[in-house]
């Protein structure tokens, strides 16, 4: 079998390997015919089969369809036995805004729209390419089916990831669409559709959807909802269930909006009134969805609550005074509170130490740990079952560099900071 990369003529690739023995690049193996394909390939180059998305992908931490700090990979060792093996880093020209992982490649995106891509499949990371989206980034970009979708200033951009390997050609968008609202606050790619939230100067918000995003030219955007108070957008995506949720609030009350893509007959949109809301909801904290349960924070005592999407009923209240949260399971939030972290599972507050502050959202390594970025530039990993003593990973020697964003893929953790430094480590 030949190497699928255009600039490598290597033959005789073993089909069980994940790297080309000659150019050492990552290979994506077809389940049907075992042919090696390039990273970010959507269809097999030999037999045309749709290639599966990997369990190791981290399409977005807080901008994607899961909106959970949930990594599907299970580490079978606990924090006291785990150490951090350095894999190297990338330097961006300004603060790191977002980190995405797809096909064992890390995408580091800066606030001003610089994008650097690195191969993280081997012991040391290797920068593959860099380009610029041409404007400031306010919404976390998303990766879906071989494309990177970004919002830069007043523009929506789609980049074909396959394009990143043709070194001769500059990286140019597959399509560009301008929007009159600014800034574009949020993106979510789902089933050939891109949802996005616009914020207007009078503080009213609108959620729009762009259809046929996988095509050469999408259809003009359609307005789905407008109002003074809208939540973030979150999706639930499995083989059989494909649903997108968001909430809106006005004088009449709180309303849950749901678009169901599960049926072949097309998208079906419904909305229902929420019952039992303790107060107005907190827009700043993104919602999360697991199955038919929505997790959101209400202003009254900053309480995290669970909402049954079938009945519209708020059916459970979790912890209070929360700033951010991630779900380790359907009844199992881990929340950032003013004193540190709260673990619902063991009903325990964990002190993070004097003069320490957690920045951003926690990230969950499934059944193993919660990872948090700190203001002093370190990353702390707490065992989910016994969080007394954290494993500390030092991302920078400078204590004035704050962690801005985290990402995880299998046993790999990536962290970005406000000086544009991005570091990667493997838990070993």
Residues within the interface to Zn ion (CB under 5 A): 3, 5, 8, 10, 20, 22-23, 30, 32-33, 35, 44, 46-47, 49
- Taking the C-alpha atoms of residue 146 and residue 150, their distance in angstroms, rounded to an integer, is 13
What are the tokens at 426? 């493997």
Residue (7 or 400) nearer to Zn ion, CB: 7
Separation in Å, CA 333 to CA 1, 50, 72, 384: 47, 35, 16, 11
* Residue (51 or 374) nearer to Zn ion, CB: 51
Nearer to Zn ion, 37 or 378 (CB): 37
Residue closer to Zn ion, measured from CB, 36 or 312 = 36
Rounded distance between C-alpha atoms, residue 147 and residue 173, angstroms: 10
CB of 114 to Zn ion, least distance (A): 28
Nearer Cβ to Zn ion, position 32 or 348? Answer: 32
The end-to-end CA distance of the chain, in Å, is 33
From the CB of 36, what's the least distance to Zn ion, in Å?
9
Closest CA to 304 of 325, 330, 289, 329: 325
- Given the DSSP bridges, would you call strands 358-365 and 70-71 parallel, antiparallel or unpaired? parallel
Question: What are the residues facing 207 on neighbouring strands?
Answer: 197, 225
Nearer to Zn ion, 32 or 299 (CB): 32
Residue matched to tokens 């349960």: 293
User: CA-CA distances (angstroms) from residue 139 to 91, 136, 224, 383?
Assistant: 21, 9, 18, 31
Please state the closest distance from residue 20 (CB atom) to Zn ion, in A: 3
| Identity of the residue, 52 or 201, whose beta carbon is nearer to Zn ion in the bound complex | 52
CB of residue 160 to Zn ion, shortest distance in Å: 20
Sheet holding 126-132, edge to edge: 96-102, 105-110, 114-119, 126-132
We find the least distance from the C-beta atom of residue 38 to Zn ion, in angstroms, to be 10
Q: Based on CB atoms, which residue is closest to Zn ion, 3 or 158?
A: 3
Shortest Å, Cβ 45 to Zn ion = 8
What's the 3-state SS for 78-134? CHHHCCEEEEEEEECCCCEEEEEEECCEEEEEECCCEEEEEECCCCCCEEEEEEECC
Closest CB 27 distance from Zn ion, rounded Å: 8
The C-alpha atoms of residue 28 and residue 3 are separated, in whole angstroms, by 11
- Return the DSSP state at 288: E
Minimum CB distance to Zn ion, residue 19 (Å): 8
Report in angstroms how near the CB of residue 29 gets to Zn ion at its nearest: 9
User: From CA 95, how far away is CA 65, in angstroms rounded?
Assistant: 24
Nearest CB to Zn ion, comparing residues 135 and 162: 162
Between CA 65 and CA 185 the distance in angstroms is: 15
Retrieve residue 308's tokens: 């049954």
**Cβ of 134: how many Cβ atoms within 10 Å?**
14
């Amino acid at each position: 079998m030949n190497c699928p990369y255009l600039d490598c003529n290597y033959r005789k690739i073993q089909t069980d390997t994940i790297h080309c023995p000659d150019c050492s690049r990552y290979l994506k193996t077809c389940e049907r015919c075992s042919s090696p394909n390039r990273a970010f390939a959507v269809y097999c180059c030999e037999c045309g089969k749709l290639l599966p998305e990997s369990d190791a992908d981290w399409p977005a931490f807080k901008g994607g369809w899961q909106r959970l700090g949930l990594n599907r990979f299970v580490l079978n060792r606990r924090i006291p036995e785990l150490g951090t093996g350095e894999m190297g880093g990338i330097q961006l020209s300004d603060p790191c805004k977002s980190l995405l992982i797809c096909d064992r490649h890390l995408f580091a995106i800066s606030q001003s729209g610089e994008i650097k891509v690195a191969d993280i499949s081997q012991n040391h990371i290797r920068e593959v390419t860099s380009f610029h989206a041409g404007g400031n980034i306010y919404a976390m970009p998303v990766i879906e089916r071989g494309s990177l979708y970004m919002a830069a200033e007043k523009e929506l951009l789609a980049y074909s990831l396959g394009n990143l390997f043709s070194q001769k050609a500059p990286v140019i968008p597959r399509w560009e669409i301008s929007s009159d609202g600014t800034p574009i606050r949020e993106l979510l790619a789902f089933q050939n559709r891109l949802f996005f939230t616009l914020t207007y100067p009078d503080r009213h918000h609108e959620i729009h959807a762009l259809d046929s995003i996988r095509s050469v030219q999408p259809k003009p955007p359609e307005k789905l909802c407008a109002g003074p108070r809208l939540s973030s957008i979150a999706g639930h995506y499995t083989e059989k269930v494909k649903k997108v949720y968001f909430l809106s609030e006005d004088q009449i009350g709180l309303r849950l909006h749901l678009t169901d893509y599960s049926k072949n007959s097309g998208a079906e949109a419904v909305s229902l009134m929420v019952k039992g809301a303790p107060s107005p909801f907190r827009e700043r904290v993104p919602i999360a969805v697991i199955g038919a349960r929505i997790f959101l924070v209400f202003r009254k005592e900053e309480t995290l609550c669970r909402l049954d999407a079938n009945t519209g009923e708020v059916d459970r209240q979790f912890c209070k005074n929360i700033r951010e949260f991630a779900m380790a399971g359907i009844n199992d939030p881990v929340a950032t509170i003013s004193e540190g972290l709260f673990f619902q599972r063991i009903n325990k507050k964990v002190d993070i130490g004097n003069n320490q502050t957690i920045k951003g959202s926690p990230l969950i390594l499934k059944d193993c740990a919660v990872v948090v970025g700190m203001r002093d530039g370190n990353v702390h990993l707490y065992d989910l079952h016994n969080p007394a003593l954290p494993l500390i990973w030092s991302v920078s020697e400078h204590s004035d560099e704050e962690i801005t964003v985290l990402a995880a893929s299998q046993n790999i953790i990536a962290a970005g900071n406000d000086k544009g430094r991005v570091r990667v480590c493997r838990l070993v």
